Structure 1
Amino acid sequence: MDIELNIQNKKLELIQWLSTVEDVSLLDKILALRKQEKDWWDIISDDEKASIKRGIVDADAGKLIPHSDVRKRYEKWL
């Protein structure tokens, strides 16, 4: 929860600062940075994509393990 709060505080700090920026070139750089963001799907490996696709096929076929069963199996590490 503290991490989420820290992230939200940083976002608010940036919003407050950004609202005071008058330098057009800096704003252009920030906008360019935003446009550089890539979708995570384009960044992951082909093996990771294949694994995700297999998981979707399994889920669509009803091959799922209930969350409660997984928690029981791995509770000693949680």
Structure 2
Amino acid sequence: MNIETTKLELMHLLLQTQKESLLKKLKSVFEEEQVDWWNEMSENEQEEIKTGLKQADNGEYVDNEIVMKRFDKWH
């Protein structure tokens, strides 16, 4: 059985159930499985993002339209 078939079967079962306790259990399984992408980054990557956010807060950035115009020159 492939993954798409399994998803469809689970969707069918999910849509048919009226058991709130089952829905809560399923929701908790999904919540437990979610990975916080921030924690998956290295400390160096996190620091780079923090630095970028500080720079943006201080107005130290180049507007997206200006950057895109630079790249349009090469196309």
Q: Which protein is bigger by CA-based radius of gyration? A: 2
Which structure exhibits the higher relative contact order, with contacts defined as CA atoms closer than 8 Å and separated by 6 or more residues? 2
Q: Which residue of 1 aligns with 2:16?
A: 20
Matches within 5 A, 1:17-56: 17=12, 18-20=14-16, 28=25, 31-56=28-53
- The count of aligned residue pairs is 65
| Distance in 2 (alpha carbons) for counterparts of 1:49 and 1:67 | 22
Give me the identity figure in percent: 24
Amino acid across the alignment from 1:58: Q
| Distance in 1 (alpha carbons) for counterparts of 2:10 and 2:67 | 40
Taking structure 2 as the reference length, the TM-score comes to 0.59
| Distance in 2 (alpha carbons) for counterparts of 1:14 and 1:58 | 48
> Structure 1 unaligned runs (5+)?
1-12
